[in-house]
Chains A and B, each alone.
Chain A
Amino acid sequence: MFLINYIKEVAAAIGSLLKGMRRTGYYFTHHKEIITQQYPDNRDHLNLPERFKGEVVMPHNEANEHRCTGCTACELACPNGTIKVITKFDITPEGKKKKAIDKLVYHLELCTLCNLCIEACPSDAIKMAQTFEHSVFDRSQLTKILNNPDSKIMDGVE
């Protein structure tokens, strides 16, 4: 009786192993089921969703204009001091002084990509870009100035 049970148990054990092996074998012979992406090779057709948070950028239009008013709301919203807004005073045609942005310094190395600055910006001046290959040889290269040189604020943005 013991022997029969023993043999039965061994047979069941082998059966369970074979069952698992069959599943592995199935994928081994069905290449269509393979979903691995060959990453650096598929760069050309790698489509990241438009909401993907890669880095903060400031879009400019063709006339080199942005929408940033220099209100520093993003700087205040940022939890770790990633953004520094440096403002200057422009002289308007009427001769009045007007606050404008000089530089918007952005430290990609500090950024946690939390999206809080973009939520906070009242004039939609900044957005997330879908880039993700950020490795550089020197950390200082990760400190970026988001507004283009000589860029101006778009008309009608207050």
Chain B
Amino acid sequence: MQETIGHSATGDLVINVGPQHPATHGVLHLVIHLQGETITKVEPHLGYIHRSIEKMCESLTYRQFIYVTSRMDYLSAHINNLACALCVEKGLGVEIPERAQVIRVLMSELTRIASHELWWGAMAMDLGAFTPFFHAFRERESINDIMEETCGARLTMNYMVPGGVMMDLHPNFQKRVKDFLQLYKSKIDEYDEMVTGNIIFQNRMKGVGYLSKEDAISFGCSGPTARASGVSCDVRKWYPYEIYSKLDFEEVIETGGDSLARYMVRIREMKESIRIVEQLIDAIPEGPFQAKTKAVLKLPKGEFYQQVETARGELGVYIVSEGGTTPYRIKFRSPGFSNLSALETMVKGSKIGDLVAAMGTLDLVIPDIDR
């Protein structure tokens, strides 16, 4: 059969979803091949929001390049910054004060909650439920307020600097976080009531978008996507950084591999993050919030790698230094890219209506994929 407009050589109907489409998050362009309503092929086309962040970083100093990484996975901006700061610190060999470490972990976990919160709302919206979105934003708003008060910004905080954090905690911080914890606990049941138990939701999630453990590993999936397929891959447990090794929390693993499992992992992960915040909020040690570092940072010649667990999975920062004030090469291993590559395996053979549901559970942030 001839390849014609709108049809592939095998006679499949070819449609474009995106790059501007209400059902995709950000500017993701999917080329979908359909046999009737059944998906035979999904091809993500990337590059619509490529800003060459890696190349940009090569011309920025070790203090300056961190702020750019907030623009990759903007929902885990803190954790991205943390990864870069940790990698630079590894090169410098500086010791981070305990207070700074605790603040960093607190901020990371609050970011994780906020990120999952937004995902939950967006996920429900993908399935056609609009109300949960507002409920999610209500709780997220109080985290954003905390961030705004301490870091001065709501999304791109640039709060982690090599050596510690930029400013000390705001005097109100502890109180605000405790208020948030209280609010969160009084509202978390609503989530299950409104969405998790809902019959329409259940039917659209169960058994849809199945990703086997083997596939999850071979695609290099990480974060909740891989953990829902039974892969134990939490960087906080396996390669603990900061003070995670001293904290009491569980690595959330589900074995279902379907959309519902991915959903449950994130819901449970929020509760684990709450546990971490609760452990630390009353135990913030006194002391300096920043280690003394030189005004101009120079990394010794060599290669440095640091991975952290963002809300989406494993983020790796790889710096090659030639001994100067700017990196020779920087590479980011972003979780979204690998997770997206598993999409085709997940949805092949299912109906087009399930594509959006399955994609929603991947929690894609497109700037993180394109960089």
A residues whose Cβ falls under 8 Å from a Cβ of B: 12-13, 16-17, 19-20, 22-24, 35, 48-49, 51-53, 77-79, 112-116, 119-120, 128
> Contact between B170 and A51 (Cβ–Cβ < 8 Å)?
yes
Known A-B contacts A51-B152, A128-B152; the reply to A20 vs B198 at CB < 8 A is yes
Tell me if B's interface is mostly helix, strand, loop or mixed: helix
**A114 is contacted by which of B149, B158, B194, B195 (Cβ under 8 Å)?**
B158
**Option from B151, B195, B199, B202 in Cβ contact (under 8 Å) with A51:** B151
User: Please, what's the 1-or-0 string for B9-46, where 1 marks a CB less than 8 Å from any CB in chain A?
Assistant: 00000000000000000000000000000000000000
Tell me the bound Cα distance from A78 to B65 in angstroms: 10
Residue of B nearest to A9 (CB): B199
A116 and B153 alpha carbons, distance in the complex (Å): 14
Residues from chain A with a CB closer than 8 A to the CB of B193 are 19-20, 22-23
Closest A residue to B159 using CB positions: A115
**Distance in Å from the Cβ of B296 to the closest Cβ of chain A?**
9
Q: Give B154-200 interface residues, CB cut-off 8 Å to A.
A: 156, 158, 161, 166-167, 170, 190, 193-195, 197-200
| Number of chain B residues whose Cβ lies closer than 8 Å to a Cβ of chain A | 31
Q: How far is the CB of B222 from chain A (nearest CB, A)?
A: 28
In B87-109, which residues have CB < 8 Å from any A CB?
Answer: none
- Contact partners of A53 in chain B: CB under 8 A: 152-153
Contacts of A116 in B (CB 8 A): 63-64, 67, 158
| A20 contacts B60, C-beta separation under 8 Å | no
B166 to chain A, nearest CB (A): 6
- Indicate if the CB atoms of A51 and B198 lie closer than 8 Å: no
Interface assignment of B8: CB less than 8 Å from any CB of chain A: no
B49: shortest Cβ distance to chain A, in Å? Answer: 17
Would you call A115 and B158 a contact (CB within 8 A)? yes
Distance (whole angstroms) from the CB of B236 to the closest CB of chain A:
27
Cα(A119)–Cα(B63), bound, Å: 11
Chain A contacts of B152 at CB under 8 A?
A: 49, 51-53, 113, 115, 128
Q: Separation in Å of the B363 CB from the closest CB of chain A?
A: 23
Chain A CB within 8 A of B148 CB: yes
For residue A22, which residue of chain B has the nearest CB? B193
B64 touches A17 (CB 8 A): no
The CA of A120 and the CA of B166, in the complex, are separated in Å by: 11
Q: Known contacts A12-B199, A16-B198, A19-B197; is A51 also within 8 Å of B167 by CB?
A: yes
- Chain A residues lying within 8 Å of B190, measured Cβ to Cβ, are 23
Tell me which of B63, B156, B166, B194 contacts A112 (CB under 8 A): B156
Are B198 and A17 in contact, with the CB atoms below 8 A? yes
Q: List which B37-74 residues lie within 8 A (CB) of chain A.
A: 60, 63-65, 67-68
Cα A12 to Cα B166 with chains together (Å)? 53
**Within the assembled complex, what's the spacing in Å between the Cα atoms of A7 and B32?**
38
